Amino acid sequence: MNFFAYFNEEIVKSGSGRQLVLMVDMNGRTGRKTGDTVVGNFGEDRVNINGERLIELCTQTSLNIWIGFFNHKDIHKYTWEQHTKNLKKIIDYIITKQDLKLKIKDVRAYRGPNCGTYHKLLVAKILFPYTYTTKHKHEEKKENTVTMVDKKRKYNIESL
């Protein structure tokens, strides 16, 4: 089975009611597009075949590729660098559903941590909404009232 077909199948399995945050090394270069909902304005200049496939998959499944939506210096933009050949690329991504209830505040690469690889540490700052509001209907003798109640949201942090 083709990797992108398998990837699509797993995204569909997650269902529409669940939040989805993917952290992937796609070896694809997605470039930049002004006004696009999938790829942001601040990516790199190049697009390759894997990048085109990733963009197509994200368009079909309503996903965002977040690294291009935040304007950073090049040292915080490129996720892979080989200094000996002066090569740098964005090939690692944080991908989420477009209707995500979580708030992505920032995505950038950090060059400090050295793990014996050309890849940089890619970090996303995500805001998890703590509460949500629901309506409860209370019936009294002859009067129906609706009250708004704040409830705590539960997240399965272990699955991140």
Q: What is the pLDDT of residues 3-49, one digit of tens each?
A: 889 988 988 888 887 888 899 998 899 999 999 999 999 999 999 99
Identity of residue 50:
N
Helices 49-60 and 3-13 pack at an angle, to 10 degrees, of 20
The residue ranges of the chain whose pLDDT is under 50 are: none
What pLDDT, on the 0 to 100 scale, is given for residue 80?
Answer: 92
Q: Is 55 helix (H, G, I), strand (E, B) or coil?
A: helix
Q: Is 66 exposed, middle or buried (0-12, 13-18, 19+ CB in 10 A)?
A: buried
What pLDDT, on the 0 to 100 scale, is given for residue 14?
Answer: 85
What pLDDT, on the 0 to 100 scale, is given for residue 131?
Answer: 62
CA distance 60 to 146: 40
What pLDDT, on the 0 to 100 scale, is given for residue 102?
Answer: 86
What pLDDT, on the 0 to 100 scale, is given for residue 19?
Answer: 83
pTM equals 0.78
Instruction: Determine contact, residues 105/125, Cβ cutoff 8 Å.
Output: yes
CA distance 8 to 136: 38
The CATH number of the domain covering residues in 3-130: 3.60.10.10
